[in-house]
Every structure is written in structure tokens, then in C-alpha cells.
Amino acid sequence: MFLASSGGASAPPPSAASPTPKFPPQKPSPIAHTPYFVVIGSQGRGMEMGAGDGVADGGMSGMTPPPGGMPTSCMGMMHMTFFWSTRAQILFSCWPGDRGAGAYVLALFLVAAASALVDCLSAALHRLSRGDRVSLALLRTALHAARMGLAYLIMLAVMSFNVGVLIAAIVGHALGFLLTGSGLLKRAGPSSNGLMMK
């Protein structure tokens, strides 16, 4: 029902085909273009999350498995706390992994041997005389570089957070110091007159 105007004519009904007002196009939200980052959970499984993910649904949308580069079976071997297990990943992808206790013991032996070699190289550097010869300087530099390279590899191996690897590194350093730095071999070696050196 339409009310009459002051002139007595009724107001025309609204037209169904009246044009709708045009609004300017909205700019896309900058959140949609934020870079993604990888989140490592407590179980070692990686997920990609964007800054705009989880605004309305609690952070569970948009999560996808990480791109290729590490097999899915190896993701469970990544830990951020110390753990006891023969299923570990030391320095290389999936190694020793699921190869059994034999491969794990071999990995521990290699870590211990490298740790002992670091102490042996340190002792060798101390015993080499310092001189002005270029050949001697190059030899000392090569020994120092090898010692530092092995030390960094041992540090990365211990960062696997496997307790066995940590113990192997400590035992290797202890044996290396016992053989080269403690003076035990000097005291046990025979002197020139056949007596024990003091």
C-alpha cells in the first residue's frame, strides 16, 4: 500500500530492475601473500603454515606435508630432545636409520674414532716445531684444518640428540687424550738404559 503525496499522486513502486551501485574492487589482503615457513612438531613431522592460516579454524587449515627432499619414513627420526634408540639419523639422510643395530654400532664407532682423531691431531700440532719454513707452516695449517673439520662433524653428529652418539663422542675424546695427551705412553715406554721412564 502506497501513501499519497501532498499532490494526491501515489509514489511509484520501486523498480525491480533498478541498477545496483558499483563499488570499487577490493584489494587482496596482504596476509594471503606472506611467505610460508616450516614447523617441526614434537613428533618430528614437518608442516607448512602461512601467516594467514588458522584465522577462522584454529590453525589447522592450509597445512600440507613438506616438499620432497627427505623421505617421509625419515621424518620420525628427527628429535629436539635426547632420546635412546638405534633408529637415528646421523649427519646423512636416513643413516643409519632402519638398517638395524649393526649399522648403528658402526655409526657410533665412527663417531668415537673421529673424536679420538681430533685429540691426536691436536697433540701432533703441539709436537710440531714452529719454524719459518713454508712447508712446515703448510703442514700445520693442513692439520689444523683437518682437526677443525672433524670437530664440526662431531658437533653435528651430537646434534642428532641421540644419547649413544653423545656417549661415543665423549669416549672417543677420552681415549684420544689418554693415548696422546695424558703422557701414559711416555711413562710406559722403555728408556735408553732399559728402565721405565719417570
Cα separation, 165 vs 191, in Å, equals 39
Q: What is the pLDDT of residue 93?
A: 86
> What secondary structure does DSSP assign to 80-94, as a single string?
SS-B--S--B-SSTT
Reduced to 3 states (helix: H, G, I; strand: E, B; else coil), residue 48 is strand
Distance CA 41, CA 61 (A): 16
User: What is the per-residue pLDDT across 111-167, written as a single tens digit (0 to 9) for each?
Assistant: 999 999 999 999 999 888 777 788 888 999 999 999 999 999 999 999 999 999 999
Q: What are phi and psi for residue 180, nearest 5 degrees?
A: -120, -25
Q: What is the distance between the alpha carbons of residues 198 and 186, in angstroms, rounded to a whole number?
A: 8
| Tens-place pLDDT, residues 174-191 | 999 999 988 777 765 554
The pLDDT of residue 189: 55
- The share of the chain scoring above pLDDT 70, in percent, equals 55
Residue closest to 88 by CA, chosen among 149, 170, 159: 159
How confident is the model at residue 181, as a pLDDT? Answer: 82
Instruction: Name the 3-class secondary structure at 46.
Output: strand
Q: What's residue 117's pLDDT?
A: 96
Q: How many helices (H) and strands (E) does the chain have?
A: 4, 2
User: Does residue 58 have a pLDDT over 70?
Assistant: no
Per-domain residue ranges for the chain?
Answer: 34-67, 101-188
Task: Please check the confidence at residue 6 and state whether its pLDDT lies above 60.
Answer: no
Mean pLDDT rounded to a whole number for the chain:
73
Q: For the whole prediction, is pTM greater than 0.75?
A: no
> What is the rounded end-to-end Cα distance, in angstroms, of the chain?
122
Single-letter amino acid, residue 194: G
